[in-house]
Amino acid sequence: MDKREPCALGREAGVDAPSIVLDTIPEAYIRLDAQLRFTFVNRAAAPLLGMSPGDMIGKTPWESRPECTGTDLEKGLRRAQAQNTTVSFENHFAPWNRWYEITAMPDAGGGLVVRFSDITDRKTGEERYRRLSTEGSTGVFQNDPPRPVPDGESRARQNAALRLARRSAFHNHRLRHPRLGSAGRSHSICSGD
């Protein structure tokens, strides 16, 4: 058994220690050189990118996937490199309808180390919540505004219809939320209320 340290073995094989570490962790990482060309793609990143590392090495992300040209991905990577600072952003890849959270960090060689993850499930949940909260399906009943009564119907009949609608909505609410009293207080089944 070889007793040398793993880092020494990696250097002798032409692989640097950070690449060995990054290839074994479950998060997706890539490295881009100073021209923003792929130099490393870890095992977790390849499936998210939909290509084998060999098909990406030596190319920019937008050369590998022309659909990325001009997107927030390109802008974010270029900003991180130009400003020599860590930049975090989200990017929607429309052809796959997938969302990614991306953090690009400058490295000593003028390139970037990029960590990313698929956040599509989270974004879908956020969109569903936003849609529910803005469309009125928040768990609290809401009535449509009263419709105009056709000409010729009396004001008394209009008021009676409105009272009936309110009463129906109130009882409907009580059926859906039996533990809430009329004042919105919570009532226990055993409280006698």
What count of other Cβ atoms lies within 10 Å of the Cβ of residue 110? 13
Q: What is the CATH number of the domain that holds 63?
A: 3.30.450.20
- What is the pLDDT averaged over residues 68-89? 95
Residue pair 106/86 in contact (Cβ under 8 Å)? The answer is yes
Per-residue pLDDT reduced to its tens digit, 130-153: 888 887 555 555 555 555 555 555
> What is the residue-wise DSSP string for the chain?
---S-HHHHHHHTT--HHHHHHHHSSSEEEEE-TT--EEEE-TTHHHHHTS-HHHHTTS-HHHH-GGGTTSHHHHHHHHHHHHTS-EEEEEEETTTTEEEEEEEEE-TTS-EEEEEEE-HHHHHHHHHHHHHHHHT-SSS--PPPPPPPPTT--HHHHHHHHHHHHHHHHHHHHHH-TTB-TTS-B--TTS--
- In the prediction, which pLDDT does 112 show? 97
Please tell me whether residues 44 and 111 are part of one structural domain.
yes
Residue 54, burial from CB neighbour count under 10 angstroms (0-12, 13-18, 19+): exposed
Domain boundary among 93, 123, 153: 123
Is this model's pTM higher than 0.85 or not?
no
How many domains does the structure of the chain reveal? 2
Do the domain assignments include residue 163?
yes
Higher pLDDT, 113 or 161: 113
Instruction: Give the C-alpha separation, 161 to 156, whole Å.
Output: 9
Higher pLDDT, 137 or 108: 108
Do the domain assignments include residue 133?
no
Please tell me whether residues 101 and 20 are part of one structural domain.
yes
- What is the pLDDT averaged over residues 97-117? 95
- In the prediction, which pLDDT does 12 show? 39
The domain containing residue 169 runs over which residues? 138-185
Please tell me whether residues 69 and 155 are part of one structural domain.
no
Do the domain assignments include residue 25?
yes
Do the domain assignments include residue 84?
yes
Please tell me whether residues 156 and 109 are part of one structural domain.
no
Location of structure tokens 């803005």: 134
- In the prediction, which pLDDT does 133 show? 83
- Is the pLDDT reported for residue 128 higher than 80? yes
Do the domain assignments include residue 27?
yes
- What is the pLDDT averaged over residues 158-165? 64
Per-residue pLDDT reduced to its tens digit, 11-62: 334 556 566 666 667 899 999 999 999 999 999 999 999 999 999 999 999 9
